[in-house]
Structure 1
Amino acid sequence: MRKLIYGFGVSVDGYVNDRDGRIDWTEPDDELHQYHNDRFRGLEIAVNGRRLYELMAEYWPHVPEDAPPIQREFGELWTRTPKVVFFRTLTEVHWNSTLVSENAVEEVRRIKAEGDGVMEVGGASLASALMPHGLIDEYHLYVSPIVLGGGTPMFPALDQRIGLRLVETRRFETVMLLRYQVD
């Protein structure tokens, strides 16, 4: 069965964006950017919610030629990696993406069962829908030294606890990675 990872840049107080939806405080340093490139290279599938897909699609397929090589590399990786995008009202997606408007929980369960590699979920709303069903195997928090005081929380209110085990910490120039596996 595929392993599903939910990773996101998060403020110290637990938000993935600020009250205006901005993520400008999550700009990665070169070491972190290379880490994401290497991590993304190992993904079989990325499952995304609409907002994250649209945010990524706005820039990564169109990285300017004069952008740093590390960014151009990520643009190529993002464009060619298979993506499943969940949204009911989108009519089309591009860049090796498949649009799914049916039940995200059942579809992710099916995708996980079809292989044994690594996939990631992108988007707090989509991840929030999957968490109560035990579909996420690892959580990667890239904690930025900022308190936002509001925005979109990385974790929803849950009826049941999710036990985690810390398996890695890593300090980058701009963030601290906390990697947890579900117990």
Structure 2
Amino acid sequence: MRKLIYGFGVSLDGYINDRDGRIDWTDPDDELHQFHNDRYRDIEISLHGRRLYELMAEYWPHVAEDAPPIEREFSRLWTEKPKVVVSRTLTEVHWNSTLVSENVVEEVRRLKAGGDGVIEVGGASLAASLLPHGLVDEYQMFVLPVILGGGTPMFPSLEKRIPLRLTETRHFDTAVMLRYTVD
């Protein structure tokens, strides 16, 4: 069974973007960027919500030739990685992506059962739809030194708690990674 990871850069007060939807405060240092490149290389399938897909598709396929090598590397990784994009409004997706518009929970269950690798879920709304069904196996929070005071929360309100076990911490110059597995 594939493992599903929900990971995001998050403010100290728990938001993945600010009130205007901006993420300009999440700029990683080179060590953290390389860490993301390395972990993304190990991911078999990347699940994207519509907003995250549009944000990523606007930038990563178009990285300039004179961009830093670390960015060019992630550009290549992102465009080549198999992606499942969940959206009711998009009619087409590109860059090795498949569009899913309904039965998301069933689709994720099918993807998890289809192998033994790693799936990543990106997008707070998409992750929120999966959490109540117990589909997320691991959480990777990259906590950044900023308090936003509002925006999109990383976690939704839930009917019941999800017990976790802290399995790793790692310090970067621009963030602290907290890795939790579901107990």
TM superposition shift of 1:103: 1.4
| Cα distance in structure 2, aligned partners of 1:54 and 1:146 | 25
Normalization by structure 1: what TM-score? 0.99
Aligned AA (1:171) = H
The corresponding residue for 1:118 is 118
| Cα distance in structure 2, aligned partners of 1:84 and 1:41 | 16
Please say if 1:17 is aligned against 2:22. Answer: no
Normalization by structure 2: what TM-score? 0.99
- Aligned partner of residue 39 in structure 2, secondary structure: helix
Residue ranges of structure 1 left out of the alignment (5+ in a row): none
The corresponding residue for 1:26 is 26
TM superposition shift of 1:130: 0.3
Count of matched residue pairs: 183
* Runs of 4+ in structure 1 over 2 Å off: none
- Aligned partner of residue 135 in structure 2, secondary structure: coil
State the identity %.
77
Residue ranges of structure 2 left out of the alignment (5+ in a row): none
TM superposition shift of 1:29: 0.3
| Cα distance in structure 1, aligned partners of 2:161 and 2:72 | 40
The corresponding residue for 1:103 is 103
| Cα distance in structure 1, aligned partners of 2:101 and 2:67 | 35
The corresponding residue for 2:41 is 41
- Aligned partner of residue 140 in structure 1, secondary structure: strand
Please say if 1:127 is aligned against 2:127. Answer: yes
After superposition, the C-alpha distances for 1:86-140 in whole angstroms (9 at most, x for unaligned) are 0012110000000011111111011100110001000000000000000000000
Counterparts of 1:1-183 in structure 2, within 5 Å, are 1-183=1-183
TM superposition shift of 1:164: 0.5
TM superposition shift of 1:145: 0.6
RMSD (CA atoms): 0.4
| Cα distance in structure 1, aligned partners of 2:168 and 2:89 | 38
